[in-house]
Amino acid sequence: MDLKYVSLGLNAAVKEVGVFILSQRKGFKEESVSSKSFNQLVSYVDKEAEQMLVDVLQQLVPEAGFLTEEKTRTDQTEGLIWIIDPLDGTTNFIHGLPVYSVSVALANGTDLLCAAVYEINHDELFYAVKNRGAFLNGEPIRVKQTSVLNDTLMATGFPYYDFADLSRYISVLTYLMRNTRGLRRMGSAAVDLAYVACGRFDGFFELGLSAWDVAAGALLVAEAGGKVTDFTGRENFIHGRSIVAASSAIHAQLGSLIKQEFGD
């Protein structure tokens, strides 16, 4: 399989779907929104965007299965799989907040091979191929090499449906509020990770995420020279529902703080 060819096809697909999503935002009505569960919203835009991606990607790599947020295909977690979030930041989209993205990765099991995150409103295409670097609109990107936590700008996401670890999460947030330049909550984990990869954020951490939220962005960070783990410091960030991403120096400090609260 020629990953460079696959990456080119993936990039074209996510941009096409991004154009569709943006076209649907004008005149969008909240009456078309439904709830999958508490605070997990979906609209026809998510479903149609996912179907568009599946139609193209199954032709691009016919032997690959799918792991998709909106379940347009039966989920597969082993072998060659496309991991798809057709609209990461659905709540932002619904409310007209212009931070949402298309996020897709190709993996062999948990080995990430290529990825693309298209930040729709700024027309920014982030993409990466394993061992070949990460790029933004064709230009190479690298994580920021800040080494002091006090000089960092961090990104995170707040728990919005599972509040079991809320007190521990707030403890981490409290420390970072006092010991960084600030915290941002964009509402799209794929965008957060892309921004870490290109140096806009120094680090990102979040709990309660799914594979389609993080797979593409994780490869971006890794190929941009960063480190990605779960909250325990291991590499189970795709299916382990937690992620820490940053440069090596900041990851060591941020990861240590998180492990103090969440343990092993």
Domains of the chain: 3-140 (3.30.540.10), 149-262 (3.40.190.80)
Distant-in-sequence, close-in-space partners of 120: CB < 8 Å, separation ≥ 6: 18, 21, 22, 100, 101, 102
Tell me how far CA of residue 222 lies from CA of 35, 55, 183, 191, in angstroms: 33, 28, 22, 15
pLDDT band at 39 (very low <50, low <70, confident <90, very high): very low
pTM: 0.94
- What integer best gives the mean pLDDT of the chain? 92
CA distance 101 to 127: 13
CA distance 186 to 59: 33
Place of tokens 């948990």: 110
Which is more confident, 78 or 12? 12
- pLDDT above 70 covers a percentage of the chain that reads 93
Instruction: Check residue 42 and give its pLDDT.
Output: 66
Amino acid identity of residue 152, one-letter, is T
Mean pLDDT of 103-127: 97
Q: Quick check: 71 pLDDT over 70?
A: yes
- Strands 203-207, 242-246: pairing kind: antiparallel
pLDDT band at 43 (very low <50, low <70, confident <90, very high): confident
Amino acid identity of residue 166, one-letter, is L
Q: Which of 238, 158, 160, 226 is nearest to 195 (CA)?
A: 226
Where do runs of H (alpha helix) occur along 117-264? Answer: 166-179, 189-197, 211-223, 248-262
Task: Average the pLDDT over each of 38-47, 61-70, 171-180 and give the range with the smallest value.
Answer: 38-47
Instruction: Check residue 160 and give its pLDDT.
Output: 67
Q: Quick check: 38 pLDDT over 60?
A: no
Mean pLDDT of 12-17: 98
